[in-house]
Amino acid sequence: MYLINFLRKVKRRFLVYLFNINYKPYSQPTIVFESFGGRQISDSPLAIYKELKKTHPEYRLVWVVNKSLATQAEKNGYDYVIRGSFKWVRTIEKAQVWVENARLPQWVRKPDHVKLIQTWHGTPLKKLGLDIENITMPGTTTELYHQNFVKEANRWDVLISPNHYSTDIFRHAFGYQNEIAEIGYPRNDKLANPTETQITELKHKMDIPLDKKVVMYAPTYRDNQFFQKGKYSFKLPFSLKQFQERFGEDTVLLLRMHYLISNAMDISGFEGFAYDVSGYADISELYLVTDLLVTDYSSVFFDYAYLKRPILFYPYDYEVYKDELRGFYLDYQKDLPGEIAYNPTELRDGIERGLAELDMSGNQRFNTFYDRFCKINAGDASKKVSEKIQKII
């Protein structure tokens, strides 16, 4: 272990040295895309990539991926570089635009000629950045975390916001001084006007039976449940067996873990009923096939609400999370667009009620939430970001 850590430090120092070389930008317009630190090829960066691929074939579009995603990138025909390689340093330093959806390490240098478009990855429910009063993450302190967050945020040239609520929070939580484009998230464009044909094709693609309803469980990670810095653990807070016994005849369950959760879900013995879709690239496609969303404190419900389908909240550790970890911007027990279940029995009962009413467009509480957080979505955010990049290039 000592030798491994030593070699990592040596490599880090070498990469820092490479970043300090004065690279000249490529003559060909080059845009670099990275999703969740190279862990995925997904989210708003993927939506923007697809738009630029269609509208600007003259641009070079490059993905930054971890080594484990190299095969996936090649299979899909993506131009890519491996994060942490010499080619990675050289490519991103010579590009004109970076498209990111999460924070970058402080030691990654952003040249003056680079414009960084930060799409971020969700409307905030739980507190962010400077608004977190007590940091329990490994490898940092509250003061240092705040300092680094502000420093990193102000390397962004444009920050994408999904609604005015988020814009206000981003300004003070990130200490952010630069441009905010309040246009909606590109990843949600396809939620604007979905068709039954589109949903059927997606179910075929995912091998989901057409005659069954779909429940998706998409929780967030817990700051105090970590293996090491940047890697968190999670255990399902309900019994798959009991879930299958009650709903298995006409329902399937999708499990979508947060990108920081490192341990795989064990669904052995539940094949055909439970699907681990944590690695599925496009979460918007998962929303489209889902009839009912179950979550806790994740921001996924803000996006899923575009579809006006039922949402059930399962904060089984509510008191701990509220008081000891993050805290919330909204009143969790009053402002959410769905029922709240606090234990497995309430969870199963709530799912049964939700599956009996799949259209929430007639629910006044839901519509109030929709008007505040979702109304901006017109299905053209990717196009607007593409036009902004065209002006930068």
Q: Is the pLDDT of residue 140 over 50?
A: yes
> What pLDDT, in 10s, does the model give residues 59-82?
999 999 999 999 999 999 999 999
- pLDDT tens profile 320-378: 776 665 688 999 989 999 999 999 999 999 999 999 999 999 999 999 999 999 999 88
Rg of the chain on CA atoms, in Å: 21
- Can you tell me the mean pLDDT for 216-233? 64
pLDDT value at residue 28:
98
* pLDDT at site 233: 59
Tell me what pLDDT residue 288 has. Answer: 98
Q: For residue 37, which of 15, 18, 64, 58 has the smallest C-alpha distance?
A: 64
Where exactly does CATH 3.40.50.11820 map onto the chain?
Answer: 2-188+379-392
Structure confidence by residue, pLDDT tens digits, 177-206: 999 999 999 999 999 989 999 999 999 999
pLDDT band, residue 380 (cuts 50/70/90): very high
280-316, pLDDT tens digit by residue?
888 999 999 999 999 998 999 999 999 999 999 999 9
Helix runs in 217-363, H state only: 240-247, 283-289, 300-304, 318-320, 344-355
Residue 128 has pLDDT above 70, yes or no: yes
CATH numeric code, 193-373: 3.40.50.12580
Tell me where in the chain the CATH 3.40.50.12580 domain(s) lie.
193-373
- In the chain, the percentage of residues whose pLDDT exceeds 70 is 93
Quote the CA–CA distance of 57 and 61 in Å, as a whole number.
Answer: 9
pLDDT at 8: 82
- CB 25 within 8 Å of CB 112: no
Q: What is the mean pLDDT of the chain?
A: 92
Q: Distance from CA of residue 47 to its chain's centroid?
A: 13
Class of the CATH-defined domain 2-188+379-392:
alpha beta
- pLDDT the model gives residue 85: 96
The mean pLDDT of 150-166, rounded to a whole number, is 97
